[in-house]
Structure 1
Amino acid sequence: MKNPTIKDVASKAGVSTATVSRYLNSSGYVSKEIQKKISDVIEELDFIPNNVAQSLKRTRTKTIGIVIPDLSNVSFMDTVKAISDIVIAHNYQPIILSSDENLDNENKILDVLVSKRVDGIIIASAGRNEKLLKIHGNGLPIVLMDRDFCNTDDNIIIDSVINDNFTGSYQMINYLISLGHKKIAILCSQQNPVLINDRLRGYINAHEHNGMDVDENYILYGNYKFESGYELTKRLIMQPLKPTAIFSVNNLMALGAVAALNEMNISIPDEMSVCAFGVFKYHPILNPDMTVINQRPVELGIKAAELLINRIKNQKDWVPQKFVFDADIIMRNSCSGPK
């Protein structure tokens, strides 16, 4: 689909292109009534002001937009610090924003970053966002980080740096099954189906590979938060057939699960095994220390930053790349065979 132009906006709003230009650049008087008309049309058409021509003409701002879904997640903060260290070393200034796993928030953030004429964006997207494709198509370098919604192995459109979500989940469930577990629960989230589909698919495939049925009562959906993991675990324990192991697709929900189990005096791992996708920065304070899939937050950030900077410097000859980090299991003490 052809990206809308300033002429399209002017035509639909019933004004001249010069008026739209004044509005976009805040360079002259435009009545509030006309401003509202233009604003509504821009939103309706999903018009992105800095098209290719503008991008080629403009001077560099030496700024990089970094968009993450959750500033309260320590793993994401480790990733952001790694990105910031790299971009600052290359004389760029990071602009760090959080979408709170909300696509509407993310789109507003993208509008802000585009209006500020950032030189590139690194983003852990809240979902399948078509606006990212349009912005990328208009010439702004983007690296998808941790979540990749538009690439396949055979068709790489936008640069991406991700974990092997499917394999990591698959291996973790196989590990639990090897310990003797047959009733394994998974704590998911419906907020980002692109990310969770791979981790849930690994959970399902591991069951199928081992000739086990998947019990939908053991697949629970929350919202990535500590409180969500806490509530979901309480719900699991109240079921007639409670599980013997819990796998959380992220670290914050796993911590919530641990809190719920501790409150209910359920011993880990003697009465319930618990494991998660994603490392814990302060894991030594957990008792027992948790078995996790290594999400490599620092390496992820370093690679994403290096990829974006190289993309900015070599735009004309750049071929999009996809990097997938192995998701290996870090064995600790939170899992054992069912009693």
Structure 2
Amino acid sequence: MEKKNATRKDIALRAGTTVSVVSRALNNSGYVAKEKKERILRVAEELNYVPNPVAISLQKRRTKQVLFYCKNLDNAFNIQLYQGMMDAAADRGYMVLFNGKIAFEEIKNTLVDGILMQDQSIAKVYMDIAGRNYHLPVVSAAYSDSINISQPLPIVDIDMFKVVETALDYLWKNGHRRIALGMPYPYDSPHARTIAYKSWTHEKGVENPRDYYIGVTRQNPILKDDERLMHFREEMAESSIIVPEDFFGKGQLAAHIFVEKRLDATAILGFNDDFSLGLIKGFQELGIHVPENVSVMGIDGINSRKYISPMLSTVALFPEKQGAKCVEVLLDIIEGKKFKYVNHSGFKLIEAESVRKIHRF
């Protein structure tokens, strides 16, 4: 006669508790007192209870799986971040699952040992919605943005203030004194890159830096107080131009806005490499030569920048290394090793063809 598999009810009866408490302990969701949880896991092993789909998770107290929440699948940086996560996890016998829908309510049905976050803004939403009920360790990539999260969690941060400063100093060193900034956020945004740009232009004594800021947002990518753009806005309304969702498309639109505003900037720094590659494409569509007419600088160092002409100058953030570090910290937490709450990932200036040197006399 075939042996019947143990059920959670069997575990509850032997452990002297309820099925709901057993479920919380086995799913690692909700609070269960430490001693009670250890007793439930011990009984589960004694009964050879095997949950689906991970057959040995109870024996080792782990699923050997972690989950990466990422909402921007069209951002090459995040794909390289994920690649670094997968490689680092494989080195330690783990697998990294991927969720591109940010469906936090589904975490209760997912067998994982910990969670990786694309950035702190997503981490905040998770902690506010689900983090209080599901006590899984969380580690987030971070980019120096000031975000108030309800519970402290470890981060792997890239100092975006120094990154932006490095990019702007490089352009300044090459003779550029009027430098625009292209962003997918408005000028009053608390985003680290916007704040860094404001601080740098103030330190350099740049007049009217707001005039050189191109914020391509869904609400209004054009500055309302610029009379020279009245005709352009009317054209946009008549043709129902929609602000693209992807960074490349936003960069293309930013190039058109740059020209319509008749900016006298000799260089523009894009939000990231995808945005900056879109700038190059947009300028080329308008017959504006890069870098002869305007220089373009990026931030990221993604692989695809090598296949666009001219090759993009950028500040490389090495997403694979950042992703690997996120995994290392998370697995150290899972395996009970020492870890730091604030970890750092480096960057490096990469010179290429999209920035020209202006001779100043």
Whether these two folds match at TM > 0.5 is: yes
Partner of 2:178: 183
What are the Cα deviations for residues 212-258 of structure 1, in whole angstroms up to 9, with x where unaligned? 13432322223552111101111111113342211111111111111
Aligned length: 284
Pairs within 5 Å for 1:321-336: 321-336=341-356
Structure 2: tracts of 5 or more residues without a match: 1-17, 42-57, 217-244
CA distance, structure 1, for counterparts of residue 298 and residue 196 of structure 2: 13
Q: What is the percent sequence identity of the aligned residues?
A: 18
Partner of 1:85: 87
Partner of 1:252: 274
What are the Cα deviations for residues 96-140 of structure 1, in whole angstroms up to 9, with x where unaligned? 1225xxxxxx3xx22223431421011113726544335555531
- Of residues 30, 40, 57, the one that matches 1:51 is 30
TM-score by length of 1: 0.73
Is residue 244–residue 338 contact of structure 1 (8 Å, CA) maintained in 2? no
CA distance, structure 2, for counterparts of residue 158 and residue 168 of structure 1: 23
Structure 1: tracts of 5 or more residues without a match: 1-17, 26-47, 100-105
Is residue 167–residue 327 contact of structure 1 (8 Å, CA) maintained in 2? no
3-state SS of 1:122 partner: strand
- Of residues 232, 238, 241, the one that matches 2:254 is 232
Once the two structures are overlaid, the 10-residue window that deviates more, 132-141 or 168-177, is: 132-141
- Of residues 193, 201, 206, the one that matches 2:200 is 206
CA distance, structure 2, for counterparts of residue 149 and residue 202 of structure 1: 11
Partner of 1:295: 317
Decide which structure has the larger Cα Rg and report it.
2
How far 1:65 sits from its partner (Å)? Answer: 0.5
Return closer, same or farther for 1:306/1:214 CA change in 2, 3 Å cut-off. farther
Partner of 2:100: 98
CA distance, structure 2, for counterparts of residue 214 and residue 69 of structure 1: 35
Partner of 1:70: 72
Is residue 271–residue 338 contact of structure 1 (8 Å, CA) maintained in 2? no
Partner of 1:122: 116
TM-score by length of 2: 0.69
What amino acid sits opposite 1:157 in the alignment? P
CA distance, structure 1, for counterparts of residue 330 and residue 144 of structure 2: 15
What amino acid sits opposite 2:95 in the alignment? Q
What amino acid sits opposite 1:143 in the alignment? V
Runs of 4+ in 1 over 4 A off after TM superposition: 54-59, 134-138, 147-152, 317-320
The answer to whether the aligner puts 1:264 opposite 2:286 as a matched pair is yes
CA distance, structure 1, for counterparts of residue 63 and residue 328 of structure 2: 18
